[in-house]
Chains A and B, each alone.
Chain A
Amino acid sequence: MPPNEAEIIRQCQTGDSSGFDLLVREHYTRVYNTAFRMLGDADGAADATQTAFVRAFSSLHGFRGDSSFSTWLYRIVINVCLDELRDAPRQPASLTLVTDDGEELQERTIPDEQADPAREAARHERQEIVHQALQRLAPEQRVVLVLYDLNGFSYQEVATTLNLPLGTVKSRLNRARGALKEEIKPHLELFEP
């Protein structure tokens, strides 16, 4: 978080929105990743990220600071994604992975010349399986996994973001993990340590 995030927000609320792009720069990668795991495809994630920031900008005057800005922002992007999923249910999309020649640089990885290519391929395959399995979950299950397991939110932060009781978050997380486990069960041998 930028040290002056609260100050930037206060300035935006009083009419000087010149610092808003700093907030965008600070949060857009994580917002994009959240949308990408929610929607499953890069184009949709980019659109959702853009929409979320426009909505945030339009609504910033109403941000009271009851929760952190990031929690507020994630609530917006989650709502954008859920709206999108409701309006246009989609098939799981494929994960764009980095290639050895770096043509598709979606993933922050360096093709490691020292690495075992077969091992790298297996790792990519496992990630693809998990990503696809995630897309097959119900959105209300997917969202808790995205926030808790991928974004590192605490139970309380998930509860605040989704406006759910803490107990509901815990039980939903348990069910979501169980559902994901069932989805990847046919490939579980790939995940053996």
Chain B
Amino acid sequence: MMRCTNCRDNFTDYLEDSLPPPQREQMAAHLRECTDCAAELAALRRTVAALHSLPTVSPPEDLLARINRAVDAQTTTPRFRVSWQRIGTVAAAATLLVGFWAVFSHQRPGTMTEGISPALRFEHAVKEADVAEQAPSTTAEEPAELEEAAAPAPEVIREIAPPAAVRRDRNATRGVIREVQPEEQPPSPKPVYVEERRHSESTNGAGLDVPPRGGELDLGMGEEGRDAAGMTVERHMLTLGSEPAAPPVAKAQAGARMVITPPPLEERIVGETVQVQMAIQPEADVEQAQVRVETKGSLRLAEDKPVIYQGPLSMQDSKRLAFGIIAAETGAQELRVDLTSELPGVCASTPVTIPGFELPPQHLTTQVFHGTPLDQAIRAVAQEAKLKVSIGERVGQEAVSADFSAGVPGQAALRILAESADCSLQAQGDTYTVYRPAPDNDAQ
């Protein structure tokens, strides 16, 4: 006879249906007799369901940018946290000239500039830029934002997204992009950006070992070619006169607000179509918005149409949409919703994780049998637990007794009934068959 302690130690395995059949039946038998354990199990079942009902929370909107900045800071030295606005017109022009000099006299193949179009390869402009950096600023005063950033904080001064016309592949040349904005524009008709990157070549004294980020160039920083963290610093002068080698890989998570409502927990059943609702509100009116859903893993869309909406969106109204999903496996399911439009700023991309998909619930039976014919008991359980059963020819009307009043999963009840009459239970598809194994002499 199982003790209460043993029974409760196995509650989770029982709920997860991961007990070997004999042990599971022992537990079921104990639960039929011990109302305390049965009540505890019921409470635990509700607790687990409540836990599974916790929603996925959205990270703060700025978290992604924060993470990327922090990772970038691993390769950024405080040495250059000064305003590039100090450079001024003359310095910028000089830098450009030196940049051209660098291209034609010092360009080395196979360096970090791979992935950048040849027009952007202005290596070795850095030395001269460094000189220019130290020159007195021609700008009257620094914006407060830049002054603050000039402090030795582990953040970049200012990150300016390049305009669409000069947008480049951030993933190809990951780094901090700073716009040179002198009071007087340099004589170049094209915008000028300075990119700064750094990488470590060895573990520094603090034990930080940052993987190199894209190249081996050491462009020379005077007597301080490395920063305090032991990282090599390099800086590239880029004139973005041509389109980048590849478009941006990731879309900005901005420009629209998307709110996604997963199906209620009780509806998250494997194999069934469940509805996900969403609302979208852009920050500007757009005429040609497209909302696309991409599923992952075992999840698929109920209708094989990943584009769930095409048309206008108004910043005044929240557009409500819905789409069906079907999970083939239990557990958390993932999808991604992408919004694109004709306005580059109105786009969004958000991953969604919907936890708690489960197999169809086992319906319980609460039947009590005292000397009931086996076939009759089986049909009663099947009817209550909504199970399909088939009764073999050799299964007769043996009297069986069982008390399932505490609530027992129908499948387990069928097995208990069958085995109490020396029969067996077999699942074939969605049908359970109760049969009596053939005696050895019959099989011969």
Contacts and interface: CB of A to CB of B under 8 A. Distances in A.
A181 interface: yes
Interface in A24-59: 24-26, 28-30, 32-33, 36-37, 42, 45-46, 49-50, 53-54, 57-58
B259 A18 contact: no
B123 to A, nearest CB: 17
A18 B211 contact: no
B171 A19 contact: yes
Given A28-B59, A30-B353, A42-B60, A149 B51 contact: yes
B59 A32 contact: yes
Report the contact-size class of chain A (Cβ under 8 Å from the partner): 35 or more
Contacts of B172: 18
Given A33-B57, A177-B11, A112 B51 contact: no
B48 interface: yes
Nearest to A37: B54
Contacts of B250: 21-22, 25
B331 to A, nearest CB: 3
Interface in A62-114: 95-96, 98, 102, 105-110, 112
* Overall SS of chain B's interface: mixed
A50 B63 contact: yes
* Overall SS of chain A's interface: helix
Interface residues of B, number: 69
A1 interface: yes
A159 interface: no
Contacts, number: 195
Contacts of A108: 55-58, 259-262, 352
B21 to A, nearest CB: 18
A97 B207 CA distance: 41
Interface string B327-363: 0001110000000000000000011110110000000
B420 to A, nearest CB: 29
B49 A191 contact: yes
A127 interface: yes
Interface stretch (B39-47, B78-86, B235-243): B39-47
B144 interface: no
Contacts of B261: 108-110, 112
A30 B331 CA distance: 14
B1 to A, nearest CB: 21
B53 interface: yes
Given A22-B250, A149-B52, A58 B59 contact: no
A163 interface: no
B43 A185 contact: yes
A24 B55 CA distance: 21
Contacts of B59: 28-29, 32, 45-46, 49
Given A32-B63, A170-B12, A53 B53 contact: no
B57 A177 contact: no
Contact of A25 (B64, B260, B279): B64
Contacts of A25: 64, 250, 351
Contacts of A15: 199, 211-216
Contacts of B170: 21
Contact of A12 (B199, B211, B332, B350): B211
A131 B67 contact: no
A164 B52 CA distance: 23
A122 B216 CA distance: 59
17 contacts: A18-B173, A20-B174, A21-B171, A25-B64, A33-B353, A50-B63, A54-B74, A57-B71, A58-B74, A58-B208, A61-B209, A96-B57, A129-B50, A145-B51, A170-B12, A181-B44, A188-B46
Given A33-B353, A178-B8, 9 more contacts: A26-B351, A32-B59, A37-B54, A57-B74, A107-B57, A108-B58, A126-B53, A130-B54, A177-B11
Instruction: State the 7 A-B residue pairs at the shortest beta-carbon distance, nearest first.
Output: A152-B331, A152-B332, A32-B59, A181-B47, A174-B12, A15-B212, A191-B46
